[in-house]
Amino acid sequence: MKENYIYLYNKLIELARNKTLYEDFENQDQFSDRLIFFLLHFALFFKVFKNDENKKILQEIYDFTFRQLELSIREIGYGDQSINKKMKDYLNLFHDMIDKFHFWEDFNNDKKLNIINNYVSSTKNPSILLNYFENFLDSLKKNTLNSYIKSVIRS
């Protein structure tokens, strides 16, 4: 297990806890909302850094991250059977996000808003989230994978 990936994992957790993401929520945010935001950040991260050069490192990050998520779900108190089901659901959701973000730059804002609404339906104003994730994507593109792993990025 690569312990240096904990910096990236913690950064993604920090981003998913960003209070501005939840300002326009109709209900109080919950674990599932934070997990969806975490997965959205993680999917965009993969979108930017996925290439043949980073393939091995990204696989290690993927394995480490989902192992950490499983541990977090266990800490909440879910049983073994429900953990397996939840992890399968979260993995499928993550891969769906990866597919949707693959052609992100080719989509118009209406299509992007529709994608965001598909994952985060609790918000009253998805355009705020669109702007946030567009800025996050730009930030990812301005840095290197190594800078995220080494935790030298400030948001």
pLDDT, mean over the chain = 88
User: Is residue 128 within a helix (H) or strand (E), and if so which, with residue range?
Assistant: helix 126-141
pLDDT band (50, 70, 90) for residue 80: confident
Identify the residue whose tokens are 């693959």: 102
Ranges of each domain in the chain: 3-18+38-149
DSSP 154: -
Instruction: Please write the tens of the pLDDT for every residue from 38-76.
Output: 999 999 999 999 999 999 999 999 999 999 999 888 887
- On whether the CB atoms of residues 139 and 12 are closer than 8 A, the answer is no
* Average pLDDT of the residues in 30-39: 87
- Cα separation of 83 and 54, whole Å? 29
pLDDT band (50, 70, 90) for residue 1: very low
Predicted TM-score (pTM) above 0.85: yes
Q: Which two tokens stand for residue 68?
A: 């950490």
**For position 29, what pLDDT does the model report?**
58
User: What φ, ψ does residue 123 adopt, rounded to 5°?
Assistant: -90, 145
Collect all residues with Cβ–Cβ distance below 8 Å to 35 and sequence separation of at least 6.
16, 69, 90
Helices (H), 21-54: 31-49
Identify the residue whose tokens are 């240096």: 4
